[in-house]
Amino acid sequence: MGSVCSSRSSAPVEASPTTKMPSLKLVYFDGKGRGEPIRWILAAGGQAFEQEKFGFEEWPAKKPTTPYGSVPLLEVDGEPLCQTLAIARYAGTIGGLVSTDPFKNALGDEAADTMAELCSTFFSTMFEKDAEKKAADEKKLFEETMPKIFGLWESRMSTKFLTADKPIWQDVFLGHWLSRFAEINPQLIAKYPKLTALKDAVLQIDGVKKYLANPPTYSIPL
C-alpha cells in the first residue's frame, strides 16, 4: 500500500484553529463492538465527545428512533450521522487524520472497507446459535479469510502505516481491529510483522494512549 504512492505528500490535513468544533455524542450499545474503533479515532484526533450507551434489552424501543434502525450513530450538533464508516471518516476528517493525497485516502478506504466486511462476518459468527456452524464459520474466518487478506496487506506495506509514515483514520480503524483479533487469536496476528507494527504504532498515538490509560468499562462483553 505504501510503495505505489510513496513519492506523494503524507502530511495530514490540519484543522483550522478558527474552526468551531462541533458537539459530538456517540450513541451505541454499552460495549465495544462497532463503536470502539470510532472512539479510538475520535480520541486519536483529540475530539471530545459524549456517549449514550444502552443494553440489548433497551434496543427494541430505541431502534425505531434511529434513521436506519441501526447503531452506531453520531450526533453532530444534534444532527444524526449514521453508518460506521461514514462516522469514522467524518471523525478522522475533523481530527486531521486524513492525507492531502486523494489516492492515499482511497487506499486507506479500501483497507477500512475490507476490514469492515471482515468484522461483519466476525459478528455474524459470534452470534451464530448453531454450535456446529459456528465452529465451522470460525475456522474458515481465522484460518482462511483473515490470512488471505492480512497476507495481502502485509505484502503491500512499505511504510510505517498503511500509506505513509503518519497515521490516517483508516490506520486507527485497522489498528483497533488488529488489536481485538490479537486478543482472540494472538498467533494469527503475530504472523504478520508489518501489521503487528502498525497495530503497535496506533497504540502509541497520544490520543489513543490517553483513552486506553483509563479504559471505560462495559456491561456487554463483545
Q: Counting beta carbons within 10 angstroms of the beta carbon of residue 29, is it exposed (0 to 12), middle (13 to 18) or buried (19 or more)? A: buried
Please indicate, yes or no, whether the overall pTM of this predicted structure exceeds 0.85: yes
Instruction: Single out the residue of 159, 153, 155 nearest to residue 174, CA to CA.
Output: 153
pLDDT in tens, the chain (222 residues): 543 333 333 334 344 444 678 999 999 999 999 999 999 999 999 999 999 999 999 999 999 999 999 999 999 999 999 999 999 999 999 999 999 999 999 999 999 999 999 999 999 999 999 999 999 999 999 999 999 999 999 999 999 999 999 999 999 999 999 999 999 999 999 999 999 999 999 999 999 999 999 988 899 988
Helix (H), strand (E) counts: the chain: 10, 4
Domains of the chain: 24-96+209-213 (3.40.30.10), 102-205 (1.20.1050.10)
Measured in degrees and rounded to the nearest 5, phi and psi for residue 164 equal: -165, -175
CB–CB of 99/9 below 8 Å? yes
Q: Where are the beta strands (DSSP E) in 33-159?
A: 50-54, 73-76, 79-82
